[in-house]
Structure 1
Amino acid sequence: MFQKVPARALTDTVAEQLLEKIDSGALARGDKLPTEAVLSEEFGVSRTVIREAIARLRHEGVVESRQGSGVFVTEQAGIRPLRIDYTDTATLESVLQIVELRRAIEAEVAAQAARGRSDASMVAIDAALARIDAEEAAGGDGVAADVAFHRAIAQATGNPYFLKTLAFLSQYLETATRVTRTNEARRADFSRQVREEHQAIVAAIRAGDPLAARNAAQTHMYNAARRLSQGSQPDPAPGLADAPARGPVH
């Protein structure tokens, strides 16, 4: 009559409640956690679930095991690593929300690249852009080349945290990127728009124009979200494929 509760859900619940206790100060830094047996009884779950929940918190640096002493809240427990659960990205809405986040970052990345790009970084960006066409011409989906292109722009900023943040977000957008790339290959208007948007970003960076680079990157990400949303729709009627992409509504 009832659906079984996945073990992962139990683990998530235990981990979240332990985190709440730590965040509230009920379990302060340096405090020892109750034993597995005690936690198992209080939560009403198996010791296996408790071990998995604690292992997750240990992986995130929230708790640490001390041989022969038990598990303790770490001194850096208040510092949380950024984490997005893959189950949270299973819907189109959630993917589009991550694209929104990436849009804000990509816009600033492009602007900073325009301010600080060197001749060497410009060569790398040009080469990365050329690789997208080469990969597609060879029958590939262009996803790896597309990621490398945006990474080359981030490298041009000289800020390693831009690289780390984009790499973090990209792993949750890989499936969406493949979907949009497939749509772009199927629809000539999509493919052309992407190429022109990339070229506009590169031209603005080359010109050393931060405002134009920011606007070009924002437009590209707005349109990427639009293409993702429209990808499942039928191909446009003859003549409409050549219509210019509509810009974002401000």
Structure 2
Amino acid sequence: MLSKLTGPVRLADRVAAMLSEEIESGRLAEGDKLPTEVQLVKQLGVSRTVVREAISRLRNAGLVEPRQGLGVYVMPRRTRPLDLEAADTKAKVLQIVEVRRAMEGEAAFLAATRATPKDLARMRQALDAIDAAVAAGEEGADEDLAFHRSIAESTGNTVLVSTVRYLGEVLRSGIRVTRANEARRHDFFEAVRQEHHAILAAIEAGDAEAARAAARRHLKHAARRLQEADDRFWTEAEDLDVDLDATP
């Protein structure tokens, strides 16, 4: 029987760690079925969103496999993927930005040489969706991620696209924190908007070097904006609720 969890921060991390320990210790063996979502909510005293996020993390780590209509089962042991968790929220998000800077700079470079008119239209629609979300009082995190994903998809590089999708859990949580930070100040929002449009303009012009530079500059400025955030923001950021099962 699992014990109830208490405490305000990163409950999904703690649920995922608890279930991972059950698997690593052998108390939950290969082929075992995890308790149902309802059972976990009741046993742990957390929300359905927290349980779903924790299960999503275990799934992305290759520890469990959801089976339609049957439940979630423990997978056979295999080589574990890289541990993308950082010591705390600020460190984690800044590390995510570093990864995005390297990956998305090259994605923009390739997109400038390969994007079709249809790809460009999808990127433009994604930027419009960010504006619409912000106008509706939302942070636009999923729309932001969709914009960067559309760039990756336009490269035609299936490995790059798969990598972006694989990192979706970490990227979405990181983008949500950066968007929450940028939403606090109008100058931040305008800077981000201009940076996004600069990336698209370079891709539309077919200027690969300019596209790479614009994407890397955007992430460099994102890191700087996060560094300028005060301690209160980071305390609040730890409580951001990210539904990782949502599809942008």
Fold match (TM-score > 0.5): yes
Q: What is the root-mean-square deviation in Å for CA atoms of aligned residues?
A: 3.1
3-state DSSP of counterpart to 2:196: helix
- Which of the two has higher C-alpha Rg? 1
Q: Deviations over 1:96-135 (max 9, x none)?
A: 1222112100000000000101111111111111111111
Q: Which amino acid aligns with 1:146?
A: D
- Aligned pair count reads 179
Q: Which amino acid aligns with 2:160?
A: F
C-alpha displacement at 1:136, in angstroms?
0.6
| Counterpart Cα distance in 2 of 1:11 and 1:175 | 20
Letter in 2 for 1:153: I
Identity %: 42
Letter aligned with residue 189 of structure 1: D
Query: What residue number does 1:193 align with?
Result: 191
Aligned CA distance change for structure 1 residues 216 and 160 (closer, same or farther; 3 Å): same
Relative to structure 1, the CA distance from residue 186 to residue 81 in structure 2 (aligned partners, 3 Å threshold; closer, same or farther) is: same
CA contact (8 A) 1:128 1:148 kept: yes
Instruction: From the superposition, tell whether residues 132 and 210 of structure 1 become closer, same or farther in structure 2 (CA, over 3 Å).
Output: same
Which residue is equivalent to 1:84? Answer: 83
Q: Which has the higher contact order (CA 8 A, sep 6+)?
A: 2
Question: TM-score under structure 1 normalisation?
Answer: 0.62
Helix, strand or coil for the counterpart of 2:128?
helix
**8 Å contact kept, 2:142–2:172:** no
**Partner in structure 1 of residue 228 of structure 2:** 230
Tell me how far apart the structure 2 counterparts of residues 83 and 92 of structure 1 sit (CA, whole Å): 19
Corresponding position of 1:139 = 137
Instruction: Please report how far the alpha carbon of residue 157 of structure 1 lies from its aligned counterpart in structure 2 after TM superposition.
Output: 0.5
Cα displacement (A) at 1:210: 0.8
Alignment of 1:1-250 (within 5 A): 8=17, 12=21, 15=24, 49-52=25-28, 60=62, 80=79, 82-84=81-83, 86=85, 88=86, 90-232=88-230
- Gaps spanning 5+ residues in structure 1: where? 1-5, 16-48, 62-72, 235-250
Q: Which amino acid aligns with 2:28?
A: E
List alignment gaps of at least 5 residues for structure 2: 1-13, 32-57, 64-75, 233-248
